[in-house]
Chains A and B, each alone.
Chain A
Amino acid sequence: MILLNGERCDLPAGETVAVALQRMGLDAHARGIAVAVDGEVVPRAAWERFALGEEARVEVLSAMQGG
């Protein structure tokens, strides 16, 4: 089961980060977004081709007020 920001999601393994972002209503050109998969940064340039594993933990982050 792939976890998207801590929530289970029904994406099949092998789908890309870009597809996961679409699932969240984000497009690949969205400003101010960063993605980590299993604790590693996935650079924007790799979103279209980075395939998610079966147990992938995907974190999708953006700016929030703070500091």
Chain B
Amino acid sequence: MAESPTRLDERAQGEDLLMIAGRELHSRLLLGSGGFSSLELLSEAIVASATEVVTVALRRVAPAARGSLMDVLADAGVELLPNTAGCRTARDATMTARLAREAFATDWIKLEVIGDEDTLLPDGPELLRAAEELVDEGFVVLPYTSDDPVLARRLADVGCAAVMPLGSPIGSGMGIRNPYNIALIREAVQVPVVLDAGIGTASDAALAMELGCDAVLAASAISRAQEPVRMAHAMRAAVQAGRLARRAGRIPRRLYATASTPEEGLAEL
């Protein structure tokens, strides 16, 4: 009897765990919780994506919505990854990280320090300063960074647990604009590389994994899709496919054809 596709999936992947700061993760897809029109949709997307890590932001308490997001994430059994979204300086970001540690009892922080209003591109010097400070305070720092291999190396050098380069600006859905830099980042650092920002559709996520990224973080690409739950499933499949393809080793690109059928034994007609 033929094996079920799910069983084949599992066998093909084997024990291929993602390790971040000593933590084992089975899923290589991290989910941003922003942009979902309801908590029910977020909850369904978490299941469809099979993610184990979901980002949250820290904002002033809104009397009406209190607690329910935390409940949804606790029910889903996922790890919270608080972010410092909206921070413009190292000071704001480090303060926000400390507050997040207090609120969520986790040392993990997705560090964002934004340097430009229109593109939301990271502010390199502030980011590095904040990263260094937070590492010293015992945080597991996952910095959202530009696709600059030198900055990525600097962030790894100060002790970040992973680096999270952008493919293109946050929410732009423009995919990976500089795949060569992403590949260079993979070579430049020992820590996991998580492609963050710019993913527009499943093929972008697969490309990230084929380039050697260890994981992908998707938010808007899923939450703002016409059918978020279906897209969550697509992203999960794409990340798995891209990872398998990377491990399998692709054939080199050639300008001319290489016959896949031997000439030998060809009939003379």
Q: Which of A's residues lie within 8 Å of B, judged by CB? A: 5-6, 24-26, 30-36, 39, 41, 43-44, 59-67
Contacts and interface: CB of A to CB of B under 8 A. Distances in A.
Contacts of A44: 102
B103 A62 contact: yes
Q: Which of A26, A36, A41, A60 has the most CB of B within 10 A?
A: A41
B80 interface: yes
B98 A64 contact: no
A33 to B, nearest CB: 6
B61 A65 contact: no
A43 B98 CA distance: 10
Contacts of A59: 60
Interface residues of B, number: 36
Contact of B69 (A6, A30, A64): A64
Given A41-B99, A61-B103, A67-B112, A34 B58 contact: yes
Interface string B92-130: 000100111011100000101000000000000000000
Chain B facing A: main interface SS: mixed
A67 B70 CA distance: 15
B36 A32 contact: no
B61 A24 contact: yes
A33 B103 contact: yes
A67 B61 contact: no
A63 B70 contact: yes
A67 B36 CA distance: 11
Nearest to B56: A63
Contacts of A60: 60-61
Contacts of B61: 5, 24, 26, 33, 60-62
A32 B101 CA distance: 10
A54 B219 CA distance: 42
B1 interface: no
Interface stretch (B27-35, B181-189, B199-207): B27-35
B63 A62 contact: no
Contacts of A25: 63
B83 interface: yes
A61 B85 contact: no
Nearest 7 interchain pairs by C-beta: A66-B57, A67-B55, A34-B103, A67-B83, A34-B99, A34-B102, A64-B59
20 contacts: A5-B61, A6-B60, A26-B66, A30-B67, A31-B67, A32-B103, A34-B103, A41-B99, A44-B102, A62-B70, A63-B56, A63-B57, A63-B73, A63-B82, A64-B59, A64-B62, A65-B57, A66-B56, A66-B83, A66-B85
